[in-house]
Amino acid sequence: MANKGEWSEPYAILKILADKKIAAYNSQSNEPSNVSYPVNKLYRHAKGTPRKKPSNITFEWEYCYDDKGESVKVIDYTKKELVIEVTIDEIKKHVKMLEDEIKNGKGSFFISQEVTSFLEKIHVITPDSSGLKRDVTIELYDFKTSKNYELGFNIKSFYGKPPTIFGASNSSNMVYELIPQENKPSVMPAHEINRINSLKNNKNRLTEISNNGYVLKYMKPNKTVFGNNLKLIDYELPIIISEMLKYYYYEDANKTMLDLVNHLEANNPCDFPLDSLPHFYRYKLKRFLLDIALGMTGGTPWNGLHEANGGYIIVNKDGSIVCLHSTDRELFQDLLLNTAYFETATRGRYKHVQIYEREGRMYIMLNLQIRFNLKQLLKEVV
């Protein structure tokens, strides 16, 4: 059982194998272009693959074409043995069946036995649970350089909700202390804490904290690993992210990354020399978005490498697939900056926006989750 976004991963793999190419993203028309990358081979990763240098990622299955390009050979990568060979026509048939089932599915759902059996036969039945940022590795031919490149890609789908760039978790909480103002006690009465925590709206909770005479002071990331990963990208990032989160939760409204950048530039929490270098925050956040898109997660120590070094494979609502290639670094970063937005995770799941007491002081956590909405840029293919 899986949701639309999760079923999009095996769908994308089948679709790529059937098409034998991936359309490139066209930055001029904001849609898949006439330029395509021919696909030579495709690799699936072993479950439980550790986070190593991308060249050391363990492959489990290799998919390559016969000499005529009429069938796909599935090879056990470790044993170098042919497991099965299926025709392109058979793959196309099941691509269409899986596409229809994804479009008609609701919530988490099972797919038909026929499609399940085919996916099991070619070893792509389940979404990759390796824990890597790359969902699939593809050997592509680049006409510009006349060379083949083996690149890792992260698969993102717009069949369901807009996909995440950075998913919510306990690791992505930022901790703030409630600082009393005007001789207020360091801890509110228990009944008042309970009353505030019972409010359904995040903004109302934070407003009541302010009304009681307390302000939020950023302390630290909830998990050391997350804080260290942020500092690896930029030492000021924990402060920058904490300010963005505080502004977002107090406003309790949809805030795009550009809205948040404007807030940072107006308030300048890091005291950067914006008069002479006005794009400090914009530059740092573009780097942050690139790194969380292609490599960094909140819960695992990061080595600074991009596992998804090829970029994103986008599955559009109409079933078409486009490659957003990270080699065009500026385009990739600009798209992320222009389409990313903050979203609140399900309250209670990660214990955020709840006042808690520790050693005579009060604290609250705000959770980071970032999605991106490329469908506002990528026109659906008719």
Q: pLDDT tens digit string along 5-50?
A: 899 999 999 999 999 999 987 655 445 557 889 999 999 986 544 4
Phi, psi of 207 (to 5 degrees): -65, -40
Q: Can you tell me the distance from the alpha carbon of 34 to that of 27, in angstroms, rounded to the nearest whole number? A: 12
Residue 163 lies in a domain: no
Q: Can you tell me the distance from the alpha carbon of 30 to that of 381, in angstroms, rounded to the nearest whole number? A: 11
Q: 150 pairs with which residues across the strands?
A: 139
Same domain, 16 and 57: yes
Q: Can you tell me the distance from the alpha carbon of 206 to that of 262, in angstroms, rounded to the nearest whole number? A: 22
Q: Specify whether the CB–CB gap between 311 and 326 falls below 8 A.
A: yes
Residue 247 lies in a domain: yes
Contacts of range 126-131, beta carbons closer than 8 Å, 24 or more positions apart: 126/2, 126/10, 127/2, 127/6, 127/7, 127/9, 127/10, 128/9, 128/44, 128/45, 128/47, 129/47, 129/48, 130/45, 130/46, 130/47, 130/48, 130/49, 131/48, 131/49, 131/51, 131/300
Radius of gyration of the chain, Cα coordinates, nearest whole angstrom: 23
Same domain, 84 and 185: no
Q: Can you tell me the distance from the alpha carbon of 114 to that of 118, in angstroms, rounded to the nearest whole number? A: 6
Same domain, 191 and 331: yes
| Residue where a domain terminates, one of 132, 156, 180 | 156
Report the pLDDT value the prediction gives residue 348, as an integer from 0 to 100: 73
Residues 6+ apart with CB under 8 A from 372: 156, 162, 163, 164, 165, 336, 339, 340, 341
Q: Specify whether the CB–CB gap between 110 and 36 falls below 8 A.
A: no
| Residue where a domain terminates, one of 93, 126, 156 | 156
Dihedral sign, Cα of residue 163, residue 168, residue 174, residue 179:
positive
Residue 162 lies in a domain: no
Report the pLDDT value the prediction gives residue 46, as an integer from 0 to 100: 60
Q: Return the higher-pLDDT residue of 186 and 28.
A: 186
Same domain, 174 and 82: no
Residue 164 lies in a domain: no
- Split at pLDDT 50, 70, 90, the class of 379 is very low
Phi, psi of 94 (to 5 degrees): -80, -25
Strand order in the sheet with 214-221: 214-221, 173-180, 361-367, 356-358
Same domain, 111 and 257: no
Residue 34 lies in a domain: yes
Residue 226 lies in a domain: yes
- Is the pLDDT at 115 greater than 70? The verdict is yes
Average predicted confidence (pLDDT) for the chain: 88
Q: Specify whether the CB–CB gap between 64 and 75 falls below 8 A.
A: yes
Same domain, 47 and 139: yes
Q: Return the higher-pLDDT residue of 222 and 59.
A: 222
- Pairing type for strands 356-358 and 311-315 reads unpaired
- Range name among 54-63, 187-196, 304-313, 367-376 with the lowest pLDDT average: 54-63
Same domain, 207 and 353: yes
Q: Specify whether the CB–CB gap between 279 and 262 falls below 8 A.
A: no
The DSSP secondary-structure symbol of 20 reads T
Report the pLDDT value the prediction gives residue 271, as an integer from 0 to 100: 96
Same domain, 281 and 152: no
Average pLDDT over residues 92-100: 97
Same domain, 26 and 135: yes
Overall pTM > 0.85 = yes
Residues 6+ apart with CB under 8 A from 129: 47, 48
Same domain, 259 and 347: yes
Same domain, 264 and 135: no
Q: Return the higher-pLDDT residue of 380 and 375.
A: 375
Query: How many domains does one find in the chain?
Result: 2
Residue 382 lies in a domain: no
- Range name among 105-114, 301-310, 339-348 with the lowest pLDDT average: 339-348
| Residue where a domain terminates, one of 156, 178, 200 | 156
Which residue range forms the structural domain that includes residue 264? 170-376
Same domain, 198 and 150: no
Average pLDDT over residues 105-129: 86
- Pairing type for strands 321-325 and 81-87 reads unpaired
120-157 pLDDT per residue, tens: 999 997 655 455 788 999 999 888 788 999 999 999 99
Q: At 162, which amino acid appears?
A: P
Residue 381 lies in a domain: no
